[in-house]
Amino acid sequence: MKRITKILNHPQYIEYLNRNAEAEKERVFCRHDLRHALEVARVAYIMVLENKLMIKKDIIYAAALLHDIGRWKEYASGVDHTVISAELAISILVDSGFDSEESEQILKAIQDHRKSGKQSTFLSSILYKSDKISRLCIECLVRNQCKRFSDGRQAELYY
C-alpha cells in the first residue's frame, strides 16, 4: 500500500482536504473529509472481498480516497464534484505511481460515483454503493431534512 501512503501525504491531497473542511465548516449534513474517504475505502474493500472481485486493494483505496477531493470547488463553481475530483486526481495518481490503465479505471469510478444505476465497471459500482452505505445515517440529527430520506425510506448499515 505504498502508493496509498503517497496519496495520503501528497501536498495537493492534503490541500484539497483542507479546502473541503473550510468550505464545509458550517455544513449540517455529511462532510467530505478523510474519515468519510477511509470509511468508503474500507466498506468498498469488504464488498470486493465478499463478491470475490479481482480488484487490487490499492486501486480501491485510491478511488475512495480521491472521490470527493473536488467538493470544495463545487460549492464555489456549481460544477459537479465528480468531474472536478477526477480532474484533480490525475496528477496525484501519476505522482503516486499509478499507470495510465489503472488511473483510467480509478478516474472512471470517481466520475460515476453519483450516477445511480449507470455504473459501467465493477469498481464504479462498488464505489457508488460504498459511498452511500458507509454513512452513519442512523445517528444523523438532520436526517429528516436530507434528500436521501425524502421518500421516507429507512437508514441502513453495511453488515
Phi, psi of 151 (to 5 degrees): -95, 10
User: CA torsion sign, 90 to 91 to 94 to 98?
Assistant: negative
Q: 4 or 40: whose CB is closer to Fe ion? A: 40
Part of the chain binding Fe ion (CB under 5 A), chosen from 5-13, 68-76, 104-112, 119-127 = 68-76
Q: 68 or 112: whose CB is closer to Fe ion? A: 68
Part of the chain binding Fe ion (CB under 5 A), chosen from 16-24, 95-103, 124-132, 133-141 = 124-132
Residue numbers 30-49 binding Fe ion by CB under 5 A: none
By CB under 5 A, residue 68 contacts Fe ion:
yes
The nearest distance, CB 23 to Fe ion, in angstroms, is 13
Part of the chain binding Fe ion (CB under 5 A), chosen from 2-10, 104-112, 126-134, 144-152 = 126-134
C-alpha cell at 106: 480509478
Transcribe 74-122 into DSSP letters: HHHH---HHHHHHHHHHHHHHHTT--HHHHHHHHHHHHTTT-TT---SH
Q: 59 or 64: whose CB is closer to Fe ion? A: 64
Dist CA 79 CA 133 (whole Å) = 24
Distance of CA 88 to the CA centre of its chain: 13
By CB under 5 A, residue 131 contacts Fe ion:
yes
For residue 130, how many other CB atoms are within 10 A of its CB? 26
By CB under 5 A, residue 74 contacts Fe ion:
no
By CB under 5 A, residue 112 contacts Fe ion:
no
Dist CA 130 CA 124 (whole Å) = 10
Part of the chain binding Fe ion (CB under 5 A), chosen from 48-56, 63-71, 97-105, 118-126 = 63-71
> What is the binding site for Fe ion (CB under 5 A)?
68, 131
